[in-house]
Chains A and B, each alone.
Chain A
Amino acid sequence: MRSLVIFDGLSKFIGVFVVLFTVLIFIYSLAFIKRRRFYYYFWFILTFLASLGVVFSSNFVLILIFWGFLGLSLFSLINLDRTSQQADTAKKTFIIVGGSDAFLLLGFLILTYLSGSIDFSGNKLEINSLLSLFSFLFIGIGCFAKAGLMPFHTWIPDVSQHAPLPVVAYLPASIDKLLGIYLLARVIKDVFILNGLAKVILIFLGGFTVISAVMMALIQHNIRRLLGFHAISQVGYMVLGLGCGSILGLAGGLFHMLNNALYKACLFLTAGNVEEKTGSSELEDLGGLAKFMPLTFLGGLISALSISGIPPLNGFVSKWIVYQALIDLVGNSSGSLKIVGSLGLVFALVGSGLTLASFLKFLGGVFLGKSKKKVKEGNFFLLFPVLVLAGFCVIFGIFFRETVLNIFLKPYLGEIKIYGLWEASLATLLIIFGLVLGLLIFFIFSLKKKFRQDNLFVGGEEEEAQPLVSDFYTSFRKMRFLAPVYDKACQGFFDIYQVLKKITFSFANFLKYLHNGVLPTYLVWCLLGVLGLFLAFFRF
């Protein structure tokens, strides 16, 4: 039976959140976008419709059409201001995303060839041959590039840095993550039966992404770029979860995808508020904004803690589930899967710590420290989406069982069994109790009056320079083993786009050298061509 649409638990889950993000970012855009409004909303709405199209289609060709169209709308939205940086970014993004779409197409076609079905209703396909593995990986490439897994990630930092912030919050931070991981989860659950090798590849890529993207994030000076690298790093967790192939892993991956979309969109919108009011996204120019923009700070704080996996916020819960799934996998497998699984677990844990470290840089650099200039808090349109998203981070953290797991994931994945004791509501109560107690002590004993606040001074002179937050973690940058790697990374040595560009152009130059414009040469080719044909036909 051919069916064009699919309305199961997963589609509904993703669909609901596509609508949520669209509404919130639409509200935000009303205040943020001031030029080319018609153009912007035209593509914004088309993006929305195409995303719903991807989520609710079952037919591969329909999915490919909507999916490819999303690349086009991303391309159009990035280049809103038409500066040359945006134009370069848009070009690079569309080449990477569109190119991976072509591989997605190839993957789907091979899948159709193998299973005989052009929609998701076909039988599950075991990955037992090279061809089926390639089919899975080609489909994977499409998902990876959309979501931003290494090595197909290089467009995300550029887009984060140059594109208008609502666009960044909408596409790379939320919708593209939702869709990329949606499709990956869909094929892992409904289409393929993963074998060991496929799992090893996914977990390896996931773990590698977590650690290396967060290392890159540590050394950034620009908050947009910093957030961009985190947007990549978090995809690693999702793929780690999905790569386990178990129900628990899928739940963790999908939950983390949702959480990441929530707090990452919130963070980008926070950065948007900051940029709207101060006109800069460089850490050097920012500081001390918590005083002037308390609500923005609140949103940024909650989402930053949440992305770093601080309980009781949502990031903690989903990472917890992913760890559980990995531990499960390591316990039940052997050989290379066991090694890669434990490696992935270690990377995930270390990555989480480093995430916290780099968000200290973000929070400290933007909101704390000495303020450089006075600004005003943003208006309702700018604050409402930030606070709603932050609210979701809190709710999904504390009531994860009642909300996400039961309402959204259970219909698709069935009962999800989580090991380990983690009673979020109780813990939250305790945390709140602790905080309240602390505040009470602070106020009752009026501790504030017992301290004197003053500026830094050295030798009786007031010290002008305060520790520069943007230079945090330069020690990493200068470490003996890491320095050469960082150098290469900053030169674009690991950028798949630059590497392939170089290779292609060297071929092009070779062919150009052959096309020297001399007529006899060309005639000789023709002759050689005919001779080749004669040889091919009359060898015998």
Chain B
Amino acid sequence: MSQLIPLFIVLPLLGAFLNSLFVRKNTKVSDILSLLITFSLSVISFLSLFLVNKYGVLIYKVGGWRPPLGITLVLDGLSSLLLLTVCLVSFFISLYSINYMEKYTSKEKFYTLFLLMLAGMNGVVATGDLFNLFVFLELASVASYALVAFGTEKEELEASFKYAIMSSVASLFILLGIGIIYSFTSTLNMADIAKTLGGSLNKVVVFAGILFFMGFGLKASIVPFHAWLPDAHPSAPAPISASLSGLLIKSLGIYSLVRVIYNVLGLKELFSLPLMFLGTVSIMVGVVLAIGQWDFKRLLAYHSISQVGYIILGIGLGTPLGILGGLFHLFNHSLFKSLLFLNSGAVEYSTGSRQLLKIKDLGLRSKMPFTSLTTLIASLSISGIPPFNGFFSKLIVIFSCIKAGFFGYAFWAIVGSILTLASFMKVYRYSFSTEHTENREIKEVPFFMKLAMLSLSLLCILSSFLFLNKFSNFFLGPAQKTLLEAKNYSTINDFVENVR
């Protein structure tokens, strides 16, 4: 069954090439192509979740080379969860793009870049080789620089430039870290590195850990490495903002950070406090900055920083409950934050503006009922109002802090949650609360955009059920186990040898 794993990378890459080679005028073809690819990837990722629950770990050997020598693709609990998140949300984003991207020229180029980015994200998550991870990371990053600048207006180019510079700095730190680790262990296979290091707290390893922390931390936009995000995410077209905030910072940032520090370097205990501390700082800084914004998308971008803080806080804590809460919040955040960006895109699509003060008295509540309803659901989810998914994941994160005796962190997480609610009440108040006073022709968005938003909001409600043990064991359990028993990662190569 391990033959399924390369599909995650091959399919989107294939799509990207076909798109750029053959599609010229008829962009319907690229709509269908991208939809097909993301849909089949979502199905496969569901399938892979079943496989992981059944077999534990699956390894694909690229070119048939044995693990320490060749590149491997590894499907374990954590990567299957991330693949599911990435592919599922990508499907809805590509559904949304069918209508939304009409207003841009060269839609096929958008799809090419989007699929390339998807291939990069999937590659980062699936690979078992440290340098391979770097390659995919750069692939996704470079595609995202181009996508941020896709509108090619002054603001977008500036944001893309800043993003590219900061992100490259981060990539260099990561590369330096990889170099140090390679010279220290003489291997690039991640499981093999873990085996060679054997959990030693050598200063070189810690040094490399810090470099990774900075590099991946910047991609995940942890404070103080966050400054690029509020410029870059709002500048991109809405579907791309959704995938940057919903997926890219998670797969390139959080996943890689946690995978390298927990599983590969085995520095879980050492990095626990710094992760938790910076996570909490991110929660507060992000949300306080968000509440003062009047630009819908910029506000959402700041909230991404804040919500990543919750994920990092939970995972950094390292207790079973904390990791579960962090992963749960990761999944939820990718749903509701993508949905919110799609909502902001819908507002911009219909009214031409995303400034809250300009859309204030347009009466969008009655003119755009679907957008209004889905925005409300997503806002309540991110603010942690029951019975939506954000409530449950925050509950677990906060309870895990209390259970471990970190009352201060729990308190700040609560304060952050209240401010989140306040800032989304502001958004909802100005965009959707009032009857129209101006007579302006405003239409609800086209069908596919509505469909994508409605399905995501439905998922926001359904994923609340992951709170129940029965479901969380299946969806989150394997990933939780991967991080909880981080040391076991070093043995996965042996596992494959025995099976084959």
Contacts and interface: CB of A to CB of B under 8 A. Distances in A.
Interface of A: 61, 64-69, 71-72, 79, 81-84, 86-88, 90-91, 94-95, 98-99, 101-103, 105-106, 109-110, 112-113, 131, 504-505, 507-509, 511-512, 515, 517, 519, 521-523, 525-526, 528-530, 533-534, 536-538
Given A505-B292, A511-B288, A102 B418 contact: yes
B4 interface: no
B402 A88 contact: no
B224 A536 contact: no
Contacts of A112: 399, 402
A370 to B, nearest CB: 37
Contact of B429 (A91, A509, A522, A533): A91
Interface string B169-211: 1100100000000000000000000000000000100100011
B426 interface: yes
Contacts of B292: 505, 508-509, 511-512
Contacts of B385: 68-69, 71-72, 98, 101
B165 A106 contact: no
Contact of B421 (A98, A515, A528, A529): A98
Nearest to B427: A91
A508 B402 contact: no
B425 interface: yes
A515 B214 contact: no
Nearest to B418: A99
B322 interface: no
Nearest to A533: B210
A109 B402 contact: yes
B157 interface: no
B289 A512 contact: yes
Complex A-B, nearest 10 residue pairs according to Cβ-Cβ distance, in ascending order: A508-B292, A87-B433, A522-B227, A99-B418, A68-B386, A65-B386, A529-B224, A91-B429, A525-B224, A82-B435
Interface string B262-285: 000000001000100000000001
Interface string B210-229: 11011001100000110110
Interface in B311-358: none
Contact of A102 (B285, B361, B414): B414
A534 B210 contact: yes
B113 to A, nearest CB: 24
Contacts of A64: 386, 395
A81 B429 CA distance: 14
Contacts of B383: 98
A399 to B, nearest CB: 40
B433 A91 contact: yes
Given A82-B365, A131-B407, A530-B210, A525 B227 contact: yes
7 contacts: A82-B434, A94-B425, A95-B425, A99-B418, A512-B289, A521-B227, A533-B210
Given A522-B166, A525-B227, A507 B288 contact: yes
A65 B218 CA distance: 36
B237 interface: no
Contact of A530 (B214, B270, B361, B403): B214
A537 B214 contact: no
Nearest to A532: B224
B471 interface: no
A384 to B, nearest CB: 32
A91 B289 contact: no
A68 B170 CA distance: 41
Given A91-B426, A105-B398, A529-B224, A523 B166 contact: yes
Contacts of B101: none
Contacts of A536: 274
Contact of B214 (A88, A512, A529): A529
Contacts of A113: 399, 402-403
B43 interface: no
Interface residues of B, number: 58
A529 to B, nearest CB: 4
A515 B230 contact: yes
Interface of B: 162, 165-166, 169-170, 173, 203, 206, 210-211, 213-214, 217-218, 224-225, 227-228, 230-231, 270, 274, 285, 288-289, 291-292, 361, 365-366, 380, 383-387, 391, 395, 398-399, 402-403, 407, 410-411, 414, 417-419, 421-422, 425-426, 428-429, 433-435
Contacts of A523: 165-166, 169
Nearest to A501: B422
Given A95-B422, A504-B291, 11 more contacts: A67-B386, A82-B366, A94-B425, A106-B410, A106-B411, A113-B399, A508-B292, A512-B292, A515-B227, A515-B289, A522-B227
A90 B399 contact: no
A118 to B, nearest CB: 10
Contacts of B224: 525-526, 528-529
A537 B386 contact: no
Nearest to B278: A529
Nearest to A111: B402
Nearest to B384: A102
A193 to B, nearest CB: 21
Contacts of A95: 418, 421-422, 425
Nearest to B405: A113
A169 B214 CA distance: 56
A79 B433 contact: yes
Contacts of B213: 533
Contacts of A103: 414
A529 B418 contact: no
Contacts of B365: 82
B414 A105 contact: yes
Contacts of A69: 385-387
A131 B170 CA distance: 42
Contacts of B274: 533, 536
A522 B435 CA distance: 42
A90 B433 contact: yes
A248 B200 CA distance: 65
B429 A99 contact: no
Contacts of B398: 105-106, 109
Contacts of A106: 398, 402, 410-411, 414
Contact of A522 (B228, B399, B426): B228
Nearest to B398: A109
B288 A105 contact: no
A87 B425 CA distance: 10
A95 B423 CA distance: 9
B379 to A, nearest CB: 10
A95 B289 CA distance: 17
Contact of B407 (A68, A87, A110, A515): A110
Contacts of A101: 385
A56 B256 CA distance: 46
Contacts of A61: 395
Contacts of A90: 429, 433
Given A109-B402, A112-B399, A526 B289 contact: no
Nearest to A69: B386
A504 B421 CA distance: 13
A402 to B, nearest CB: 40
A525 B224 CA distance: 6
Contact of B419 (A94, A504, A522): A504
Contact of A91 (B165, B387, B395, B428): B428
A230 to B, nearest CB: 27
B399 A109 contact: yes
Contacts of B225: 525-526, 529
Contact of B291 (A86, A94, A505, A517): A505
Contact of B391 (A68, A83, A505): A68
Nearest to A536: B274
Contact of B288 (A98, A504, A517, A521): A504
Nearest to A64: B386
B426 A526 contact: no
A507 B423 CA distance: 14
Nearest to A521: B227
Nearest to A110: B402
B266 to A, nearest CB: 15
